[in-house]
Structure 1
Amino acid sequence: MLTLINRLKSDEALMLAYQRGDTAAFDCLYRRHKDGLFAFLYRSCSRHAIVEELAQDAWVGVINSAPTYKTEARFRTWLYQIAHNRLVDFWRRRDNQHTDLENAPEPATAINPAATDELARQLMNAIGQLPNEQRDALLLQEQGFSQREIADITRCAEETVKSRLRYARKQLRQQVGDEL
């Protein structure tokens, strides 16, 4: 059971507690970040089963890297860097296999109301067609990360992030129009 004390601690303090063996601290971190992490991954790859696997791999990465965690970066930035790396690995495997699992039809399980909205569909399609680096930068910014944090997560210069965001927005405007 999560204690009130754990719920009030910073992510970094919780991760350090987990390093010392406090599994309740990890549970608290997981509950805080699972939905945002899933949303980030889902926007990059809309296949639910693949996103679940990528998210699980990211959390396993947190567990495996816990002994070496340092508070130099925010926990959230560190977590998304791990998830981003898993996503890049997925794209590389997919490109090497010459298959496009991401665009294969998702099994019909539930109706997504946003899918019926034409603009939302156009926007999601346009985001899906962005180069991976631009899409990552755009989606991380949408998750609330600063340009500096995006640079840390994607391991590139902050100016590169600015360029990727600018090109992504330009391409989205060209494909979807000025409704954005």
Structure 2
Amino acid sequence: MDAAVDDDATLMLAYARGELAAFDALYARHRGTLYRFLLRAARDPRQAEELFQETWSRVIAARARYTPQAKFTTWLLQIAHNLLIDQHRRKRPLATGEEAESALANLATAEHEQPDHVLSEFQRRRRLQRAIEQLPDEQRTAVLLRLENDLSVEDIAEVTGVGRETAKSRLRYAMNRLREQLAE
């Protein structure tokens, strides 16, 4: 176990004992990662902010029950993922068929407007972001956890509450889809 992971668990346990500075250190260390994940997964800044606050509220509420069984980051992202799932369930359907068709048509139009020369780094990143946004929720979450948080398949399975093979499959399908979209 590396020092940062061990340090996170130590900080959380110190916070559970009442050391408020330990929480401040955890918050400073993980706020950016958590917010980026929620923003990319929710695709709505207002919703991401709400989920961000609720995730930290859950961390605070669970401090006395915290046990360092998994990496703190994995535990934190698992809380955030569960809140995302709950919110998706409450707001179904997320998009009508017409909205989905419109988003796909906009993506296709934008792709055809690109000049034949090599894309700039910004354009490549933007294309990747658009392609990720088009993925089904489960696949998008798996890709974001892998690419942005560098989680292993096992950690992705733990965060999303599915088996290792399911997480691996979601990641594989998502990566194949991204390759196809980016090759076009």
Fold equivalence (TM over 0.5): yes
Q: What secondary structure is seen at the aligned counterpart in 1 of 2:169?
A: helix
Deviations 1:64-89 (A, max 9, x none): 11111111111111101001111111
Quick one: which of 32, 57, 63 aligns to 1:66? 63
Q: Give the structure 2 partner of residue 4 of structure 1.
A: none
TM-score w.r.t. the length of structure 1 is 0.79
Q: Give the structure 2 partner of residue 150 of structure 1.
A: 156
Q: What secondary structure is seen at the aligned counterpart in 2 of 1:52?
A: helix
- Measured in 2, the distance between the counterparts of 1:23 and 1:10 equals 15
Quick one: which of 127, 131, 146 aligns to 1:122? 127
Q: Give the structure 2 partner of residue 136 of structure 1.
A: 141
- Measured in 2, the distance between the counterparts of 1:155 and 1:176 equals 29
Hey, which bits of structure 1, 4+ residues long, moved more than 6 A?
Answer: 97-100
**What's the offset of the Cα at 1:136?**
0.9
Q: Report the count of equivalent residues.
A: 158
- Measured in 2, the distance between the counterparts of 1:134 and 1:58 equals 21
- Measured in 2, the distance between the counterparts of 1:172 and 1:20 equals 45
Quick one: which of 22, 29, 32 aligns to 2:29? 32
Q: Give the structure 2 partner of residue 52 of structure 1.
A: 49
Q: Which runs of 5+ in 1 are unaligned?
A: 1-6, 104-115
**What's the offset of the Cα at 1:117?**
4.3
Q: What secondary structure is seen at the aligned counterpart in 2 of 1:21?
A: coil
Deviations 1:133-169 (A, max 9, x none): 1111110011111111111111111111111111001
- Measured in 2, the distance between the counterparts of 1:150 and 1:97 equals 23
Q: Which runs of 5+ in 2 are unaligned?
A: 104-120
Cα distance change on mapping 1:35 and 1:159 into 2, 3 Å: same
Q: Give the structure 1 partner of residue 179 of structure 2.
A: 173
Identity in percent: 46
**What's the offset of the Cα at 1:123?**
2.2
- Measured in 2, the distance between the counterparts of 1:150 and 1:117 equals 28
TM-score w.r.t. the length of structure 2 is 0.77
